[in-house]
Amino acid sequence: MTGRNVGCWTPFGFEAVIIGGLGNIWGTLAGGVILGIAQSFGAKIDPGFQVQAGHLVFLIILAIRPRGLFPRID
């Protein structure tokens, strides 16, 4: 990766962290896996739907569990 193309991956990293729950490294890993699976299924449906499928799963999880799947318990 070079400095020029890092920005295109930033939203996926942000979504993985939010899906997993802020402050939970294992939740971030799970969020990344969920996001990757959603994008893979989206690409199977239609290659142009790959990124949108990931965003759709992100929004659904955010609507259902606003603190993420594995939020940090204080």
Domain that holds residue 42: 10-64
What number is the average pLDDT over the span 51-57? 93
Domain count, the chain: 1
Residue 71 domain-assigned (yes or no): no
Residue 55 has pLDDT above 90, yes or no: yes
68: left (phi over 0), alpha (psi -120 to 50) or beta: left
Q: Where are the alpha helices (DSSP H) in the chain?
A: 10-20, 25-45, 50-64
Q: To 5 degrees, how large is the angle CA 27–CA 65–CA 62?
A: 90
Residue 40 domain-assigned (yes or no): yes
Please write the tens of the pLDDT for every residue from 5-50: 666 777 888 999 999 998 889 999 999 999 999 999 999 999 889 9
pTM to 2 decimals? 0.82
Residue 33 domain-assigned (yes or no): yes
Residue 74 domain-assigned (yes or no): no
Residue 53 domain-assigned (yes or no): yes
Residue 1 has pLDDT above 60, yes or no: no
23 near 67, Cβ under 8 Å?
no
Residue 60 has pLDDT above 80, yes or no: yes
14 near 25, Cβ under 8 Å?
no
Residue 31 domain-assigned (yes or no): yes
